Amino acid sequence: MSLPSEILIKMYRAMLRIRRFEEQIWEVYTGGLMHGLAHLYIGEEAVAVGVCAALRDDDFITSTHRGHGHCVAKGGNLEAMMAEVMGRVTGHCRGKGGSMHIADMSVGILGANGIVGGGFGIATGAALSAQKRGTDQVAVCFFGDGASNQGIFFEVMNFAAIWKLPVIYVCENNHYGEYTPTENVTAGKSIADRSLPFGIPSTTVDGSDAIAVYEATAAAVERARKGDGATLIECDTYRYRGHHVGDPGEGYRSKEEIESWMAKDPIQLLRTKIMDDNIASGAELDAEEREVEKEMENALEAAKAAPYPDVEEVNQHVYA
Amino acid sequence: MSMREMTYGEAVKEAMAEEMRRDPTVFLMGEDVGKAGTVFKVLLGLHDEFGDDRVIDTPIAEAGLVGLGVGAALTGSRPIVDIMFGDFIALAMDQIVNQAAKLRYMSGGQAIVPITIRSTMGAGRSSAAQHSQSLHAWLAHIPGLKVAIPSTPADAKGLFKTAVRDDNPVVIYEDKMMYALKGMVPTEEDYTIPFGQAHIKREGDDVTLIATSSMVHVALDAADALAEQGISAEVLDPRTLVPLDRETLIESVVKTTRAVIIDEGYKSFGITGEIASTVYNGAFDYIDAPIVRLGAMDVPVPFSKPLEDATIPTPEDVIKAVQDMKIIHR
Ligand SMILES: Cc1ncc(C[n+]2csc(CCOP(=O)(O)OP(=O)(O)O)c2C)c(N)n1
Ligand SMILES: [Mg+2]
């Protein structure tokens, strides 16, 4: 199957936007322009982008502590995201949430999450709601290899299976949970296997290959919209940077390992594919990059210029 | 007593290492407690000494992790279970509240559950609503659990060692903003601090500041400033919430006739309410001013720095509360 060229270009651009955003966060952090920490998604872009390219605006996602990529891919606004990470009132959450809690309900981003496994129930519940309301919306739950050991993962798969819920569980297996290698704490050959006892089909894809991720997701979305129920997709991926911006990411990971993953960089892979298939030239793709660069600069400037929320706001939004 | 200066984090690690050397049934498990030495890095080196068998990295599965700890404690081990952020205790509440806390009672006194659950509390790191809460009141509410909440390196070490030796489930909360705090700490092996003994951190006559964990330092700062204004504040740290040293709290307020209670838990339904009622009842005839309770604002901890700062009690809040009492020296 060959994908329409506009999807490929759109995915290329989305991956660049994530990469640039995350690089910018790194500068913002090291430049002392933000408080707290952030978990960077660099290296994993093809997962968020491949999945979200197969979704509609009115579909839902739940995200993780490493959520910037998901939010960009699902239609979050770079300026509002940057402002949020910097605690400014123009942020998606008026500065109340920060990096780990970016949400934009208007485009189906039901929230990043500071609790590992925090999205399982919410995504599955969003799928239940779509079913009850009689829409054909689907919900995607992004989660890490580490999160796959939380008990609620198994609870929600059972719900999704008995009620044929339109939910897609997308595991981002980046081979570590914080500083611990996944295999040290995770039983079984693969996380994808975990849904099989529930009768939920699963597949494992190369998480550096946006096209492969897109295709797997598109098939799962079709299944879900038809009323055939849930799917689990395990994406093999890697974070180039540390667990968060304060972690150098070395010591517990070898240089060779990091370099071997960087050698199959998701953005480069798609760029090569686009150029090999004569969909766009290098010059055209470079132009995309310059545009993203400009968008990012504007977002940063706007965020920097934005004020912090008024202290009076602290009491607002506790209750509806 | 021989003493050594160390940080709060080092004191916790030393307590743990000493107890593990002393008692082979003690082991530690938690997420990234091994080579990584926890995300706060405070246990670096422990794994080098005790190895994989006794310093154990676990899956990210708090309910299971605590549940295994309870089962191990019930059958001859003395596990220390590390829950990285106090907020994550929410995931393990059934195991703590319905299992650990009740097994002894429900079994008619047959069982002991000597598990130590260590976790963190405290805002101030811009970690937002799910990594900043101080939820110790939840557990202090449950009969069968003990709760310790040390404010200094020496207390951290002494209370931790007592926790490990106690035959009951103990939850011990460390404020993650205090890990670098330095202080003199006793070094002998059997240095422990009995539970249920409040500690007078500073003596005074005009007002009692009852404070917990990092709020002790807020109270001490306030006491310094008040001294300059001619007001003598006593600073009292209960150190354990369960058991609570009600007598010492009451005695102090009988002496000073006034109290401000400062704790970083949400103010409503928090431990300041319990302490205030204890003091009202015990010192009623002596009290000269309404007791003031200061706690975290009743909102989820916001991310943005100016908002977050507004939610935590400060020395200025304490000073104002005392000034409003209009203390007149006769
Ligand atoms: C319930 C809970 N336990 C522990 C943590 C601390 N923590 C934050 S991220 C993380 C590792 C998560 O690993 P994984 O799910 O693989 O995601 P990754 O960081 O690799 O993207 C841990 C343990 C948490 N935030 N929530
Ligand atoms: Mg991971």
- Distance, CA of B86 to CA of B69 (rounded, Å): 17
* pLDDT at res. A215: 98
- Distance, CA of A15 to CA of A48 (rounded, Å): 9
Where chain A has pLDDT below 70, the residues are 1
Helix (H) or strand (E) holding B73: helix B62-74
Q: Identify the three-state secondary structure at position B141.
A: coil
What is the torsional sign of CA A205, A19, A267, A240? negative
How many DSSP H helices and E strands does chain A contain?
11, 7
Residue A309 in domain: no
Which ligand 1 atom is at minimum distance from the Cα of A148? 15
Residue A315 in domain: no
Nearest Cα residue to A97 out of B128, B87, B299, B298: B128
Checking if the pLDDT of B90 tops 80, the result is yes
Q: Can you give the residue range of the structural domain that contains A159?
A: 5-301
* pLDDT at res. B1: 82
* pLDDT at res. A1: 57
Residue A318 in domain: no
**What average pLDDT does this structure show over B214-232?**
98
Q: Is A188 on the interface with B (CB under 8 A)?
A: no
- Distance, CA of A193 to CA of A214 (rounded, Å): 20
A28: domain CATH number is 3.40.50.970
Checking if the pLDDT of B330 tops 80, the result is no
Active site residue B329: no
Instruction: Read off the DSSP letter of residue A307.
Output: P
Residue A43 in domain: yes
Cβ contacts (< 8 Å) between B62 and chain A: which residues? 150
Question: Environment class of residue A136 by beta-carbon count within 10 Å: exposed (0-12), middle (13-18) or buried (19+)?
Answer: middle
* pLDDT at res. A2: 83
The number of angstroms, rounded, from the C-alpha of B64 to the middle of its chain's C-alpha atoms is: 24
Active site residue B62: yes
Contact B303 A308 (CB under 8 A): no
- Distance, CA of B77 to CA of B74 (rounded, Å): 7
* pLDDT at res. A224: 98
Nearest chain A Cα distance for residue B54, angstroms: 16
Q: Is B31 in the pocket of ligand 1 (CB under 6 A)?
A: yes
Question: Environment class of residue B314 by beta-carbon count within 10 Å: exposed (0-12), middle (13-18) or buried (19+)?
Answer: middle
Checking if the pLDDT of B238 tops 70, the result is yes
Q: Domains (ranges, CATH) in chain B?
A: 3-186 (3.40.50.970), 199-323 (3.40.50.920)
Residue A122 in domain: yes
Contact A116 B125 (CB under 8 A): no
* pLDDT at res. B152: 98
Contacts with A21 (C-beta within 8 Å, 6 or more apart), sequence order: A68, A72, A78, A81, A82, A296, A299
Residue A67 in domain: yes
Q: Which of B56, B126, B304 to mutate to test the interface with A (most CBs of A within 10 A)?
A: B304
Contacts with A222 (C-beta within 8 Å, 6 or more apart), sequence order: none
Q: Is B263 in the pocket of ligand 1 (CB under 6 A)?
A: no
Number of neighbours of residue A190 by Cβ within 10 angstroms: 13
Residue A32 in domain: yes
Distance from the alpha carbon of residue A240 to the mean position of ligand 2, in angstroms: 12
pLDDT tens for each residue of B171-221: 999 999 999 999 999 999 899 999 999 999 999 999 999 999 999 999 999
Q: Identify the three-state secondary structure at position A6.
A: helix
Across the interface, of B62, B64, B307, the residue whose CB is closest to A314 is: B307
Residue A317 in domain: no
**Domain total for chain A?**
1
**The pair of three-digit structure tokens given for residue B8, joined into one six-digit string:** 């709060």
Across the interface, of A96, A147, A177, the residue whose CB is closest to B302 is: A96
Nearest Cα residue to A24 out of A309, A308, A307, A301: A301
* pLDDT at res. A6: 96
Helix (H) or strand (E) holding B207: strand B207-211
Q: How many CB pairs under 8 A join A and B?
A: 117
Tell me the ligand closest to B88's alpha carbon: 1
Question: What is the ipTM metric for this complex?
Answer: 0.96
- Distance, CA of A43 to CA of B214 (rounded, Å): 39
- The mean of the pLDDT values for chain A is 98
pLDDT tens for each residue of B247-274: 999 999 999 999 999 999 999 999 999 9
